[in-house]
A and B are shown apart, each in its own frame.
Chain A
Amino acid sequence: EAGVAQSPRYKIIEKRQSVAFWCNPISGHATLYWYQQILGQGPKLLIQFQNNGVVDDSQLPKDRFSAERLKGVDSTLKIQPAKLEDSAVYLCASSSMTGGAGELFFGEGSRLTVL
């Protein structure tokens, strides 16, 4: 079974530029998550989708971050304009279950460096 695919793996941009990350979850997984992991910290949840609807985006900095999952399958996370503090690994995860017993499957992440 193919895992969660993310691209690009690495991206270097200058501040105020824009960047987009793509995630393809495991086939059939209705729930998709984006996490931000700053070096030395645990992952921080940015947004949770159920199919193509947003369940929780309370921690998403909406003035610069946006995410969509138009057809309920793959998803894109965009940052515009980027700031230095956005340097982090952006992790995508998916799950087949919606409740507390669901196992999350994570991708390898996209590492962003903002100069």
Chain B
Amino acid sequence: DAKTTQPNSMESNEEEPVHLPCNHSTISGTDYIHWYRQLPSQGPEYVIHGLTSNVNNRMASLAIAEDRKSSTLILHRATLRDAAVYYCILSGNTGKLIFGQGTTLQVKP
């Protein structure tokens, strides 16, 4: 299973944009890039996913590098409720998700 590398932690100010990076240099051509987040005492929650093109939804945007070896999750205006662990995961043909350590995002008021 292809692996991802994320910073252990990041800080942001409330109402400012947040860019969460992820490196996945061993990604294969059929791997999808998924982002999930986990709030304290809850199960992980889907945020966004993409294959090659940038993606937008109501929660966030996903920017994928042209060579697909890295991606960035963009939260356009961070709120205190966005404080969570964010996981960047590659998903192959089986659909299973192999989680890493993720990035702990702190949002300061």
List A residues at the B interface (Cβ < 8 Å). Answer: 4, 31, 33, 35, 41-45, 48, 55-56, 91, 93, 95, 97-109
Contact = CB atoms under 8 A, between A and B. Distances in A.
Nearest to B99: A42
Closest 7 CB pairs of A and B: A106-B43, A42-B99, A100-B32, A100-B91, A102-B95, A103-B46, A43-B99
Contacts of B42: 108-109
Nearest to B50: A101
Contact of B32 (A35, A48, A101): A101
Given A41-B101, A42-B99, A42-B102, A100 B93 contact: yes
Contact of A33 (B30, B32, B41, B96): B96
**Chain B interface residue number, banded:** 20 to 34
A103 B102 CA distance: 18
A14 B45 CA distance: 31
Interface of B: 30-32, 36, 41-46, 49, 51, 85, 87, 91-102
Nearest to A41: B101
B43 A100 contact: no
B87 A100 contact: no
B101 to A, nearest CB: 6
Given A56-B94, A91-B43, A103-B46, 5 more contacts: A41-B101, A45-B97, A100-B32, A100-B95, A106-B45
Given A42-B100, A100-B31, A93 B43 contact: yes
Nearest to A4: B43
Residue picked from B32, B43, B93, most chain A C-beta under 10 Å:
B43
